[in-house]
Amino acid sequence: MAKEYWIGDVQAGLHDGSEVELKGWIKRTRGSNKIRFIVLRDSTGTIQCVAKREDLGDEIFESLKGALIEASLVLKGSVNADERAPGGHELIVTDAELVGGVRADSPFPITESAMVAADGGETEFLLDNRHLYLRTSRMTNMLKIRSSVFGAIHSYFRDKDFTEYQAPNFVAGAVEGGSTLFEVPYFPNEANPDRKAYLTQSWQLYAEAAMPALERLYTIAPSFRAEKSRTRRHLTEFWHAEMEVAWASNAEIMAHGEGLVRHIAKTVIDERESELSDIDRDIELLARYADNPYPRIRYDEAVETLQGLGIDIEWGQDLDYSKEKVLTQDFEVPHFLTHYPKVAKPFYHRVDPDDGNYVLCHDLLAPEGYGEIIGGGERTWSEEEILARIDEEGVEREPYQFYIDTRTYGGVPHGGFGLGVDRVCSWLSGADHIREVIPFPRDSRRVTP
Ligand code: 4AD
Ligand code: MG
């Protein structure tokens, strides 16, 4: 049963002249009553397989002749290195087994013409058939790049002695403001008929509770935001890599953000060069993101730049996608924006002791118009200040009592950040839309398939 040979290895010339058994799915098939040319694919590549009636006998040949796109096959044969074959190799089939057929009355719906119609984008039709669209080479490439991004995040933090730590997804309060909270009925009872929980927007508050125990911690976990607006960079369920460090300043946290993103870019180049070139991504650009330092600029400077470009923005506003897009279009590398106005950020951001109008925070903005990929900074860490900030924002204290307690008992300066993993995948792969890099995207209109 086990699979011994991979099509990618055959195309790499590892089995020239040998007998092999290839297992995979039909990508394309054509031919006559005597000879079939089947392009077989597996997770590593594609190869042309040549099957002749005279070699296989009528029964086997007829089964191959009737096999449609995405039928699964086991093909035995010998490998020919042949310049004329696509990829430089072909299989001369000596034996064949049709494993899982595809019925003629229900052919595979993702046809080449549907792909051409989508023009690299993702029509509703392709989204409705996402479970099948996953089998296209574009999605295979995206998912492999994504896997390298996840691996790079783990290796970055583990190499630096961070402890991986898990927080609950059902929570009692907001982290990033009430407007994007998902409510879930949570065992309502007679005493509390409206009892509900929320899906977490961030691991952060529960990480801060564990900070005195672990000091350097991280996670990669889903976060949830009831984002009503549909944009190229918002999902309602996204993958969030977050970290928290005791005794760390905003500058130290930024150094980790920069180190992490450069490590991710380098890992993707090292591990996924062929996938990147398959999807036409310029590797030179990624090398720039891996090798060069990321500048830091203050929010005020960014606002001036935008105003200079004639963009309508007032001091105190957070930067939305439209503004970040303009700002980052001509960036050569990611830039940190620091010192946002206090009014633009949630209560947990530490007020700048040098100027109470600002907080000690940062966003990392990716170039090419992608915009924010990281949000982080120092935390309000004294009990007195956190109570004052909670009250000032008009937030109810009760759901945050555990959080306030973390300050009551030996608070220390600390900070952290959250990185949107899907956004990083989207940027590094040059995708037009964040949906392209996650297997089953969730947005305000779609929870299926
Ligand atoms: O800037 P955000 O809201 O910051 C936090 O959640 C902090 N509590 C993180 C922390 O300090 N531990 O979100 C962090 C990042 C954003 O920069 C963005 O990359 C991503 O999460 N993100 C989203 N990605 C996809 N879809 C969405 N709806 C996202 N919302 C945020
Ligand atoms: Mg943010």
Largest CA distance in the chain: 86
Q: Ligand 1 centroid to 345 CA: how many Å?
A: 12
Confidence of residue 293 (pLDDT cuts 50, 70, 90): very high
Ligand nearest to the CA of 250: 1
Summarised one tens digit per residue, pLDDT across range 143-178 is 999 999 999 999 999 999 999 999 999 999 888 888
For the four alpha carbons of 95, 99, 105 and 109, in that order, the dihedral sign comes to negative
With a Cβ cut-off of 6 Å, ligand 1 is lined by 175-176, 201-202, 204, 225, 227, 234-235, 238, 240, 242, 372-376, 416-418, 420, 422-423
Asked whether the beta carbons of 37 and 17 are under 8 A apart, the reply is no
**The two three-digit tokens of residue 253, written as one number:** 């946290």
Query: Among 61-75, 122-136, 148-162, 235-249, which stretch is predicted with the lowest mean pLDDT?
Result: 122-136
Q: Ligand 1 centroid to 375 CA: how many Å?
A: 6
SS (HEC) of 259-318:
HHHHHHHHHHHHHCHHHHHHCCCCHHHHHHHHHCCCCEEEHHHHHHHHHHCCCCCCCCCC
Q: What is the pLDDT of residue 119?
A: 72
**The two three-digit tokens of residue 371, written as one number:** 């915009």
Q: Which atom of ligand 1 is nearest to the CA of 417?
A: 11
Summarised one tens digit per residue, pLDDT across range 303-347 is 999 999 999 999 999 999 999 999 999 899 999 999 999 999 999
DSSP structure string for 138-202: HHHHHHHHHHHHHHHHHHHHHHTTPEE----SEESS-SS-GGGPEEEE----SS-TT-EEEE-S-
Q: Which atom of ligand 1 is nearest to the CA of 234?
A: 26
Q: Is the bond leading into 449 cis (omega within 30 degrees of zero)?
A: yes
Q: Which atom of ligand 1 is nearest to the CA of 175?
A: 8
For residue 82, pLDDT beyond 90? yes
Confidence of residue 229 (pLDDT cuts 50, 70, 90): confident
Cα end-to-end distance, the chain, whole Å:
30
The rounded Cα 256 to chain-centroid distance in angstroms is 19
| CA angle, residues 104, 110, 112, in degrees to nearest 5 | 100
Q: Output the residue whose Cα is nearest ligand 1's atom 18.
A: 420
Q: Ligand 1 centroid to 415 CA: how many Å?
A: 15
Amino acid at 303: V
Q: Please enumerate, as own/partner, the contacts of 308-316 that have beta carbons within 8 Å and a separation of 24 or more.
A: 315/341, 316/341, 316/343, 316/344
Confidence of residue 134 (pLDDT cuts 50, 70, 90): very high
Domain ranges of the chain: 3-100, 131-437
Token pair 């013409």 is found at 113
Mean pLDDT along residues 59-82: 97
d(CA 99, CA 72): 5
Amino acid at 216: R
Orientation angle between helical segments 421-429 and 250-271, nearest 10 degrees: 50
CATH architecture of 131-437: 2-Layer Sandwich (3.30)
Nearby residues for ligand 2 (ion, Cβ within 5 Å): 375
Q: Output the residue whose Cα is nearest ligand 1's atom 3.
A: 176
d(CA 406, CA 118): 51
Ligand nearest to the CA of 340: 2
Asked whether the beta carbons of 430 and 281 are under 8 A apart, the reply is yes
Q: Output the residue whose Cα is nearest ligand 1's atom 14.
A: 418
Query: Among 228-232, 268-272, 426-430, which stretch is predicted with the lowest mean pLDDT?
Result: 228-232
The DSSP letter of residue 187 is -
Q: Please enumerate, as own/partner, the contacts of 280-284 that have beta carbons within 8 Å and a separation of 24 or more.
A: 280/430, 281/428, 281/429, 281/430, 282/430
d(CA 428, CA 253): 22
Q: Which atom of ligand 1 is nearest to the CA of 225?
A: 28
| CA angle, residues 247, 360, 166, in degrees to nearest 5 | 55
Question: Out of 2.40.50.140, 3.90.1150.10, 3.40.50.720, 3.50.50.60, which CATH number does the structure's domain 3-100 have?
Answer: 2.40.50.140
Ligand 1, from 225, 320, 321: best to mutate by most atoms within 8 Å of Cβ? Answer: 225
| CA angle, residues 136, 137, 139, in degrees to nearest 5 | 70
Gyration radius from the chain CA atoms: 27
Mean pLDDT along residues 404-423: 98
Q: Burial, 293: exposed, middle or buried (Cβ in 10 Å; 0-12, 13-18, 19+)?
A: exposed
Ligand nearest to the CA of 373: 1
**Mean pLDDT score across all residues of the chain:** 96
Q: What is the pLDDT of residue 120?
A: 66
